[in-house]
Amino acid sequence: MLHRDFFGRVSLSKMAQIYVRQNITALTLSLLLVATVGLYWETSWGLFAYWLDDRNYTYSHGWLLLLVSIYLVYERWRTQAQPLDLAPSWVGGVVVIISSMVWLMATIGSIQVVQFLSFVGLVSGVFWGVMGFSQARLFALPILLILGALPLWDSVATVLQLPTTLAAEWMLQISRVPVLREGFFLSVPAGDFEVEAACSGLHYILVAVLLGLIFCAMHRLHWWVTIGIILAAATISIVANFIRVYTVILIGQYTNMESDLVKDHASVGWVVFALGAIPLFWFASKLTKQDKYVGGIKVAPVVKQGRLSRSVGVVTLLAGLLVGPVWMGYLEAQIEEAMLNESEFPVIIKSASRGELNIEYQPAFMPGDVVKEGWIDSERSGEASTYLYLSRFYRQKQGKEAVSSSNRLVSSSSLWNQLEAGSIPFQGLSGGVVNVATLSSGNIELRVWQWYQVGERRITNPLWAKIYNVIATLQGHGYIDVVVLATKIEDDVAAADVVLQRFSKKYLKK
């Protein structure tokens, strides 16, 4: 929209200037968000791939939720009465810096869920840093919706596992179906069923709660109405899952376990879920006609900033986006150099071999960048009496971690059985203890020790091992060793512990 001044010169009207400023804001925000995805590509793509992975069925709604979040950002931007303008904020930049540093430490320690959380923090900080808090809070809900697709809620599944089992047992008893419950197992005459954590209905709860939030956000309902709808949605999804488990067992009972629905029980769940959700949202749509709250979030007018204030905001934001990836690049260069030098390994470790004892044993740990494994000659008349497994990790990622819940001293396919496990005092380790276990296979018993080595520090606690590994990497000593020692129990466990203690002090002393 143009008009001419007193001299007949053409200039932009105030409305056109606002339009241009708003589009510059949108373009700046879009470019910085694209840059964030690019700079943190491994994490952003890892999140997208996580949603596509069939093994992560509980969070498979992530892609759809992302599209909904983008739409809500667009809808709030388009319908906002107050024009949105650039308002660089150094506080938002600080949020980006903190998120980037958290991402760096989570990447070093290979803690995927923290990487995902820090990425959401980066996106939030970019909105804040570009537009200031008053304008950025318009988009808080669309951004925070992504939390519903992050692997944060698995503990909820564990909590609901027992109530789901008890509810199914109670409904079967009412239906006059003979049932025996042992823990999470339900046995009926036709067969046995296990109510696993994945059967607790977490996926239905997440979808129901998120649908409720999206519905209320789009209709701009009062907060108390929103809470009511969310609670109702969560309750309906929990009850629907109770009915799903009961129905699947009932189908198995009356079809003698031959129905396809016994295996594909997710289909039954979505049918039951829909039967409960449709009436809920029909009722919620009636509330939208009675709830008159449609004003949305009020945005305070943007205070005109000085050049210094804007410059500090811009510099802080850009520095925050770069600090994590640049530092990580520097650490990667150090790691590459360290990987070329294996002189830190004692000669005795390099000589590890399969030995002559013919005892086949290896712990089920994720292999690192360098693995030294085998039996080593000790003081027993040259006999290969001490087994060593040393796995060194210079860099870690999902599926290649020094500390992982899937690591075991004995694999599920091994012929070894674990008789006992615990820890014993040992002065050679920080903290004064070492993880120990006694294994048995046929008439052979092994005594096993295990710990983590970070630089000169020996650690038995997995959490502290991760923490010290992050600290050491930031200091330029970026590797962690997983150490396992084992020896055959000839006399008793105490004698085997003495052999391992001597070996550790003689050959593995830092």
Structure tokens at 499: 């052999």
Structure tokens at 347: 């000669």
Q: Look at residues 174, 175, 176, 180 and name the one whose alpha carbon lies nearest to residue 192.
A: 180
pLDDT tens sequence across 157-207: 888 888 889 998 999 999 888 989 888 889 988 888 888 877 778 888 888
Question: How confident is residue 96, by pLDDT bands cut at 50, 70 and 90?
Answer: very high
Which segment, 287-301, 415-429, 490-504, is predicted with the most confidence on average? 490-504
pLDDT at 150 over 80: yes
Q: What is the pLDDT of residue 266?
A: 67
DSSP state letters, 233-269: HHHHHHHHHHHHHHHHHHHHHHTTT--GGGT-HHHHH
Q: What is the pLDDT of residue 290?
A: 54
pLDDT at 214 over 70: yes
Question: How confident is residue 499, by pLDDT bands cut at 50, 70 and 90?
Answer: confident
Q: What is the pLDDT of residue 218?
A: 79
Average pLDDT of the residues in 19-35:
83
CA–CA gap between residue 46 and residue 329 (Å, rounded): 18
CA–CA gap between residue 246 and residue 169 (Å, rounded): 8
Structure tokens at 390: 């040393």
**Strand segments (E) across 146-230:** 180-182, 185-188, 191-194
> Please, are residues 368 and 327 in contact by the beta-carbon 8 Å criterion?
no
How high does pLDDT run on average in the chain? Answer: 81
Which class for 441: exposed (0-12), middle (13-18), buried (19 or more C-beta within 10 A)?
middle
CA–CA gap between residue 484 and residue 453 (Å, rounded): 11
pLDDT at 81 over 70: no
pLDDT at 98 over 70: yes
Q: What is the pLDDT of residue 132?
A: 87
Average pLDDT of the residues in 132-155:
88
Question: How confident is residue 316, by pLDDT bands cut at 50, 70 and 90?
Answer: very high
Q: What is the pLDDT of residue 345?
A: 56
| Biggest CA pair distance of the chain | 108
Q: Which of 38-42, 113-117, 258-262, 439-443 has the lowest mean pLDDT?
A: 258-262
CA–CA gap between residue 501 and residue 510 (Å, rounded): 14
Length of the chain: 510
CA–CA gap between residue 107 and residue 125 (Å, rounded): 19
Q: Determine if the pTM surpasses 0.85.
A: no
pLDDT tens sequence across 271-304: 777 777 788 777 777 766 655 444 455 665 666 6
Question: How confident is residue 123, by pLDDT bands cut at 50, 70 and 90?
Answer: very high
* Numbers of helices and strands, H then E, in the chain: 14, 12
pLDDT at 339 over 90: no
